[in-house]
Structures are given as C-alpha cells and as structure tokens.
C-alpha cells in the first residue's frame, strides 16, 4: 500500500480539566474515544485539591464526553458546548484540530494544508465496485479549488463530495483496466498546484471488498424478543407482566418463539426478508445483553429445538434472521466469570476478564472492568487465546444448528479489539461469504469498514439526520441532503448499499414520539428510509404507530390491536415495501442530488441503476409547493408517482420536471415505460468506455 499522509499523525494531545465544587475521591473522563468507560482514563488532582486533569491523544475531529465523579456521577463539562446524542443524553462536545489548521483555508489562496492531504491505493481511497474503480483524495475543507486524475494523456475531473467538519473529498469513477496502470492526482488552488503520485495499481491484485448482495434488496424487521408476541404461557416467568403493562428495567412480558412463529405471515405482508433478533440467549436480564451462555436459548423465550423449528418455518416462507451477539461482556453467571468468583487467583479463566482486586464480588463500583461500570456486565478480554477461541465458535454453532441464519449484529462493537473482528470476519466468511456482519457504532464507522472487519453498521447517522430535519425541523433541506451524502460518501459504495437504515431502535426513543405523534412526519422519514441507499430496518411496532420515550418506554409490548387493515400508517409501510421491491434503482442505485430549496422546505434526489431510475421528492413544509427538478442525468422522460398514481413528464429539451407536492408529503417517481425503451432493453448495448463521460455520471457524489 502506498500512503500519503503528510506532516503529522492523525491524533493530537488534548488536556481535559474539571474543577470540582466539593471534595471528590476520583474523577474520570469518559467519551466516544474510550468506549464511554468510567474507569479507563483517571484524572489527577492538582495541589488545590479541586482541579482534576488528564492529557490524552485523541483522533482528529469531533468527540463527545462527560466527567465521572466518584465512579458513579456523570456530569457534562460546564466550560464546553453540549449536544443531545439523539438517545436522550446530553454530552459535552470537543473538536480536535491539527496544528496547521490554525491558518484559515480559503479557495484560491494557492496554499494547501499538507496534513489534510491523504490518498492510498487501498480502501477507502481506491476501491473496486461493480466493474469500476473509485479513486478519491482527502483534502482540508474549503482548501482546494479543483482536482483531477491523470492516466497517461487523459485528464479526468474529480467531483467534490461532502466530508466532515475537518475534511472534504474529491472522487471519480473510472472503468477498471485489465492491465496494470499508473495514475497521478493533481490538485489546483488559485495559482498553486500539488501532484500526488504517481501511483501504480494492478487491478488483478487489488483486494475487492465484497458485501452480501442480498442485503440491499431486502427489508429488515427488528424484534425485541420479550415484547413482540407471547404465544405460550408455559414458559412465562414468575411475575410476568400483563401485555399492556408498563415496562421497567427488570420486568418481563413473556414474548417467545411460539409468538414469533405465529406472526410470520404478518412479517411477510410487510415485505420483510430478514428478522433481526435482539439477544435470545439465556440471561438474567430482560434485554439479554448479559449472556449466561451463547449456546442456549433463554428458557423464557423457548428451547434450542424450538428455535431450530422457527428457523425452518421462516426459511419456508423466504425469511431469514440476524442474531445479536454481545461479545464485549457477559453476565456474572457466565461459566468463566463464575469460576473466577469461586477460585479467585487460581482460576484458569482469570485472564478472560480484567480483574483488579480479589476476592471478586459483584457489587457497585466493581473490582473488575465492566461495561459502563455496570457490575452485571464484566468485560471480556478478547485478546486471551482461549476466550477468543470460545467466542469465535458462537457464530459457527448457530449457523450449523438453526437454518436461516443470514448474519450477526455485534453489540458495542467499537469497544472490542479490532484484531478480534478481523479474526471473526475470517471465521464467519469461511462459513458463507454472504453472511452479513453488522457492527453497532453511532458515529463514523470507517475504521471498521475497510473490508477486513464488518460489512455494515447500524445507521444511527442516518437516524440523526432525519431526527434533525424531519422530527425537530432544526436543519434545512440542503443541510439534510449534505448529511445524507456525507454519510454515503464516507464509505465505499458496497458498504453504503448495505448500511442498516433505522429511525428507531431498542436504544432510542421511538421516532414517532420524537415527532410529537405527527404521523405525517413519520411517513416522510419512512419514505426516505425505504428509498435511500441501504437496507431499511423497521423497529417492531414502528409501522403501526407505536410510541415510547427513552429506555425502557421504547420497549413496550407490541400493540397488536393496531395491526389492522384500517391502520393508515401500516398500509403506507406496506406500500413502501412493495414500491422498493419492484424497483432495481431503489435497491442498488447510486444517489444523485437534484434539488434543495431551503426557503420552500423541499428537496429531491434520484437513485440511478444501470437500466432504471427513481426520483424521490419531499415537501417538509406545511404549504403546498410547486418546483422543478432537472432530469438531464436520467434517461427517462415520463414518470408516475408510485404513492399517488399521478403522472409527470419532462418539459421539452430542457429535461426539467415540474412537481407539485401537498403539505408534509412525498413522491416516489418511477419511469413510465415507453415502447421505445421496452425495445431498447431487448437489445444488448455496448457499455460506454469514455473516461471523461463516465466521470461526469454523477454530480456532487461519487459512484
């Protein structure tokens, strides 16, 4: 790999400082940079007895953090800006910049911020997908006027795409040559120029990041097992709650395998292809993220044999499932931890966890590392050879035991050693390369999504964009599209096509609740969820209008009384599912930015596949809006709104489409086949090979 990283590393030293008003025994800093651990980064008290500090190397960019007082009280930094993380928590914000960012960046000044420049001949800067190579270069935001790739005597303009607070990217897509070739990246700004390279690549030896093709073509439905359906009272726990009872952190409602099995036809009616189960393994908690074992179904959910039968029944109806694996921590009843409690320093499993003192007692402020400091969740040491071997055997066991396993979702995956995920990927893909690996991470997932660890991650970035734009109406249409395209372009296309797009989950307030119960807002967000690149993931009950605030109120029993043909929201979700499944562009097409009017509150984007295209238009305002969008990048001229049935045609040679949308509504325009286009599809046409034409295929985003 050839890597350009000029002048400095991708980290910088930052000193955290907290001044207490009273005497404290300890202060720690916890944040996105250390997995929110309340024990990893202790602060030292200065001579005044009130000022606590610690200096840490932090990656460049934005971080969220809090101070943890006496290992239990979490507070924000009174001297920093704060932000809601979208899950109901207020955290302090920190922005870390490189040292040479002190000079301003201005287009046309002829200067280049050298620390920002980065390119390599590997993912994410060089990527092969669908017969094309995507070449990209990172630059400082607002620092470079023009960029191009030179191959031989051909100079190909690169497209500027959205980045983050520090950087932006230039990208271009070119046909993959069969032979070794050389290219140079040329940057221009005012009178200044900078050449990067030359770089030499052999397409035959470039590793291809393959993600499962079935994911972008499906629809995921997330089930919280204890709350979806209680089909059998035989396995109900003592003190089981009435189905419409109020959830707490500890009570159980009796949802089980029999209940899921009885609702398979309902899932099929939604167009669901994959069920994502929150943990189903034996556990002392109702959420089951603290497993007693990874090889036994929780008896209150069912038996291993019943789960095998469920897998067979699902497979017979064309459904698969994703298992939630929490390999970061276990319950204290897990055999290895239990042995440590009993045998102390003589335990053969001592190095499976991070033990600080003996005897080991499960109590508040535990003497062992635990997730978020919860004593019920002792953290596993995934570097230990025997622990690693045990954990790597979980996915193979269930793949070979219960039919229909399509993938795994990895809980708090950013807090587990990357080297473990590399070994995990080899194990899982060795079983079946089409098994889907989804990591849980709420921020930038690029470090894990370069082809050696995960395939995908949960789309909390997507959720956040919809929360700000639709639910809270805090951002404009152009800012909304900026965010969507920034996230899309953060990853290579094959990753973006299989990201899990969600609006609600077991860890967030339900989206409809955050919309103040406004069903029109929920519909708008769902429309984008089903039409943006990725795979939509519907949290159980979202489609029928269930509401609920922060955990545990977002985990109520499924309100089956609302699942009727008279439920307008449910019918809308079913319609979205049918539209998506009938469109190749909505499943695999690249996004194209068409229109954004911040004053009018409207926007439009397209999805373009090889022989298909769709246009999605959204009116977030409370007024009827008329506007036009350019369709010059799309071959189709006649369109029909798949939601309303209305037809539209491009105006003359300008290739402009005039649209009118009712207040708080959306349209999904699908091409109306003409006799000419039908005939054309029957003829195998030669693909264009012009580099310059190919590079202009999309505007504002990379292929």
pLDDT of residue 71: 87
Pair of tokens at residue 555: 């985990």
CATH number at residue 373: 3.90.400.10
Same domain, 324 and 354: no
pLDDT of residue 97: 86
CB 255 within 8 A of CB 229: yes
Given 536, 568, 600, which residue is the final one in a domain? 568
Same domain, 473 and 532: yes
Strand 320-325 to strand 405-410: parallel, antiparallel, or no bridges (unpaired)?
A: parallel
pLDDT of residue 83: 82
pLDDT at 571 over 90: yes
Whether 215 is in a domain gets the answer: no
pLDDT at 439 over 90: yes
Same domain, 291 and 389: yes
Nearest to 607 by CA among 631, 590, 582, 628: 590
Whether 438 is in a domain gets the answer: no
pLDDT at 6 over 90: no
Same domain, 257 and 396: yes
CB 228 within 8 A of CB 148: no
- How many other CB atoms are there within 10 angstroms of residue 153's CB atom? 5
Q: Per residue in 282-295, is it b (16+ CB within 10 Å) or e — as a string? A: bbebbbbbbbbbbe
pLDDT at 698 over 80: no
pLDDT of residue 9: 54
Strand order across the beta sheet in which 602-609 lies: 590-597, 602-609, 612-619, 665-671, 638-641, 647-651, 656-661, 625-630
Same domain, 270 and 394: yes
Instruction: Tell me how far CA of residue 267 lies from CA of 276, 511, 570, in angstroms.
Output: 12, 20, 12
State the pLDDT confidence band at 39, using cuts at 50, 70 and 90.
Answer: confident
The SS3 assignment for 581 reads: helix
Same domain, 367 and 408: no
Query: Tokens 């012009």 identify what position?
Result: 690
Residue 530 has what DSSP assignment? T
Whether 601 is in a domain gets the answer: yes
pLDDT of residue 683: 41
Radius of gyration of the chain (CA): 26
Phi/psi-derived region of residue 320, left when phi > 0, alpha when psi is between -120 and 50, beta in every other case:
beta
Given 36, 67, 96, which residue is the final one in a domain? 96
CB 228 within 8 A of CB 258: no
pLDDT of residue 119: 96
Separation of alpha carbons 700 and 360, rounded Å: 57
pLDDT of residue 11: 85
Q: Show the beta-strand stretches assigned E in 313-385.
A: 320-325
Same domain, 194 and 233: no
Whether 394 is in a domain gets the answer: yes
CB 88 within 8 A of CB 509: yes
Q: Per residue in 324-347, is it b (16+ CB within 10 Å) or e — as a string? A: bbbbbbbbbbbebbbbbbeeeeeb
Separation of alpha carbons 415 and 36, rounded Å: 9
Structural domain of 396? 222-328+382-420
pLDDT of residue 203: 80
Residue 236 has what DSSP assignment? P
> What is the mean pLDDT of the segment spanning 446-465?
96
Report how many domains make up the chain. 6
Whether 70 is in a domain gets the answer: yes
Whether 677 is in a domain gets the answer: no
pLDDT of residue 432: 98
Pair of tokens at residue 173: 């897509």
Strand 436-439 to strand 456-459: parallel, antiparallel, or no bridges (unpaired)?
A: parallel
Residue 364 has what DSSP assignment? S
Same domain, 285 and 405: yes
CB 440 within 8 A of CB 409: yes
Bridge partners (DSSP) of residue 188 are 146, 193
> What is the mean pLDDT of the segment spanning 153-175?
90
Same domain, 475 and 555: yes
Separation of alpha carbons 229 and 254, rounded Å: 8
Nearest to 376 by CA among 341, 332, 441, 345: 332
Q: Is the dihedral of CA 460, 461, 463, 467 positive or negative?
A: positive
Same domain, 243 and 392: yes
Separation of alpha carbons 210 and 216, rounded Å: 13
Count Cα atoms within 13 angstroms, Cβ side, for 85: 21
> What is the mean pLDDT of the segment spanning 550-554?
96
Mean residue pLDDT across the chain: 92
pLDDT at 563 over 50: yes
| Termini Cα distance of the chain | 23
pLDDT of residue 357: 94
pLDDT of residue 86: 63
Burial class (CB in 10 A: 0-12, 13-18, 19+), 195: exposed
Strand 159-161 to strand 126-129: parallel, antiparallel, or no bridges (unpaired)?
A: unpaired
Count Cα atoms within 13 angstroms, Cβ side, for 510: 26
pLDDT of residue 696: 28
> What is the mean pLDDT of the segment spanning 45-49?
94
Same domain, 164 and 182: yes
Strand 118-120 to strand 126-129: parallel, antiparallel, or no bridges (unpaired)?
A: unpaired
Count Cα atoms within 13 angstroms, Cβ side, for 184: 13
CATH number at residue 18: 2.60.40.10
| pLDDT tens sequence across 256-288 | 999 999 999 999 999 999 999 999 999 999 999
Whether 109 is in a domain gets the answer: no
Separation of alpha carbons 362 and 458, rounded Å: 32
| pLDDT tens sequence across 354-404 | 999 999 999 998 999 999 889 999 999 999 999 999 999 999 999 999 999
Whether 695 is in a domain gets the answer: no
pLDDT at 88 over 70: no
State the pLDDT confidence band at 218, using cuts at 50, 70 and 90.
Answer: very high
pLDDT at 212 over 80: yes
Same domain, 474 and 549: yes
pLDDT at 206 over 90: no
Of the two residues 270 and 695, the one the predictor is more confident about is 270
Residues with catalytic function: 411, 440
CB 550 within 8 A of CB 510: no
pLDDT of residue 35: 80
Angle of helix 418-431 relative to helix 394-401, nearest 10 degrees? Answer: 20
Nearest to 123 by CA among 32, 209, 36, 228: 209
Instruction: Tell me how far CA of residue 121 lies from CA of 208, 423, 450, in angstroms.
Output: 12, 23, 12
Q: Among 54-63, 304-313, 485-494, 683-692, which stretch is predicted with the lowest mean pLDDT?
A: 683-692
Q: Largest Cα–Cα distance of the chain, in whole Å?
A: 84
Burial class (CB in 10 A: 0-12, 13-18, 19+), 550: middle
Instruction: Respond yes or no on whether the N-terminal peptide bond of residue 552 is cis (omega within 30° of 0).
Output: yes
Query: Tokens 């997730």 identify what position?
Result: 371
> What is the mean pLDDT of the segment spanning 617-639?
94
Pair of tokens at residue 28: 């720690």
């Amino acid at each position: 790999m050839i890597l350009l990283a000029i002048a400095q590393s991708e980290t910088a030293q930052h000193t955290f400082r907290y001044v207490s008003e009273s005497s404290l025994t300890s202060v720690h800093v916890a944040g996105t940079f250390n997995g929110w651990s309340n024990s990893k980064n202790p602060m030292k008290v200065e001579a005044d007895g009130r000022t606590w500090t610690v200096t840490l190397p932090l990656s460049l960019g934005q971080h969220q953090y809090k101070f943890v007082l006496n290992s239990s009280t979490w507070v924000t930094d009174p001297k920093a800006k704060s932000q809601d993380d979208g899950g109901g928590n207020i955290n302090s914000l920190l922005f870390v910049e490189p040292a040479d960012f002190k000079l301003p960046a201005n287009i046309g000044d002829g200067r280049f911020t050298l620390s920002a420049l980065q390119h390599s001949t590997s993912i994410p800067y060089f990527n092969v997908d669908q017969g094309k190579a995507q070449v990209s270069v990172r630059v400082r935001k607002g620092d470079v006027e023009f960029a191009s790739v030179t191959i031989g005597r051909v100079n190909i303009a690169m497209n500027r795409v959205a980045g983050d607070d520090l950087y932006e990217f230039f990208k271009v897509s070119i046909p993959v040559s069969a032979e070794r070739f050389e290219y140079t990246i040329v940057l221009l700004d005012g009178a200044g120029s900078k050449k990067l390279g030359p770089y030499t690549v052999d397409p035959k030896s470039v590793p291809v990041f393959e993600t499962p093709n079935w994911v972008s073509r499906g629809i995921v439905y997330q089930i919280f097992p204890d709350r979806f359906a209680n089909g059998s009272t035989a396995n109900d726990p003592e003190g089981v709650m009435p189905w419409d009872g109020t959830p707490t952190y500890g009570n159980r409602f009796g949802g089980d395998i029999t209940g899921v099995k009885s609702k398979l036809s309902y899932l099929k009616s939604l167009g669901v292809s994959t069920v994502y189960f929150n943990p189903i393994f034996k556990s002392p908690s109702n959420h089951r993220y603290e497993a007693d074992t990874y090889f036994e179904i929780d008896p209150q959910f069912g038996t291993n044999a019943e789960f095998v039968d469920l897998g067979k029944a699902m497979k017979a109806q064309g459904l698969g499932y994703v298992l939630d694996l929490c390999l970061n921590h276990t319950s204290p009843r897990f055999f290895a931890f239990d042995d440590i409690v009993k045998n102390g320093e003589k335990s053969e499993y001592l190095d499976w966890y991070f033990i600080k003192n003996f005897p080991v007692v499960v109590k508040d402020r535990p003497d062992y590392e635990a997730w978020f400091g919860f004593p019920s969740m002792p953290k596993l040491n995934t570097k230990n050879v025997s622990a690693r071997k045990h954990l790597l055997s979980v996915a193979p066991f269930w793949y070979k035991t219960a039919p229909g396993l399509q993938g795994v979702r990895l809980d708090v995956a950013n807090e587990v050693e990357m080297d473990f995920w590399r070994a995990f990927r080899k194990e899982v893909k060795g079983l079946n390369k089409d098994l889907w690996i989804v990591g849980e991470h709420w921020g930038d997932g690029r470090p894990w999504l370069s082809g050696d660890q995960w395939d995908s991650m949960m789309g909390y970035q997507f959720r956040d964009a919809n929360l700000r734009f639709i639910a809270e109406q805090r951002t404009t249409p152009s800012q909304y599209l900026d965010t969507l395209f920034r996230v899309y372009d953060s990853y290579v296309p094959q990753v973006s096509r299989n990201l899990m797009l969600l609006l609600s989950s077991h860890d967030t307030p339900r989206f409809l609740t955050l919309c103040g119960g406004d069903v029109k807002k929920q519909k708008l967000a769902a429309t984008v969820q089903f039409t943006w690149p990725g795979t939509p993931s519907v949290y159980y009950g979202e489609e029928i209008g269930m509401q609920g605030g922060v955990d545990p109120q977002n985990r109520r029993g499924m309100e089956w009384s609302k699942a009727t043909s008279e439920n307008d929201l449910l019918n809308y979700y079913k319609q979205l599912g049918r539209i998506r499944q009938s469109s190749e562009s909505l499943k695999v097409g690249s996004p194209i930015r068409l229109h954004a009017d911040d004053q009018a509150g409207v926007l439009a984007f397209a999805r373009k596949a090889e022989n298909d295209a769709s246009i999605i238009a959204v009116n977030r305002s409370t007024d009827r809006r008329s506007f036009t969008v350019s369709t010059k990048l799309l071959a189709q001229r006649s369109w029909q709104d798949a939601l309303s049935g209305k037809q539209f045609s491009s105006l003359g040679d300008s290739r402009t489409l005039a649209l009118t949308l009712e207040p708080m509504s959306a349209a999904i325009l699908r091409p109306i086949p003409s006799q000419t286009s039908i005939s054309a599809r029957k003829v195998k046409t030669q693909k264009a090979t012009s580099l310059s034409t190919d590079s202009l295929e999309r505007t504002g985003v990379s292929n």
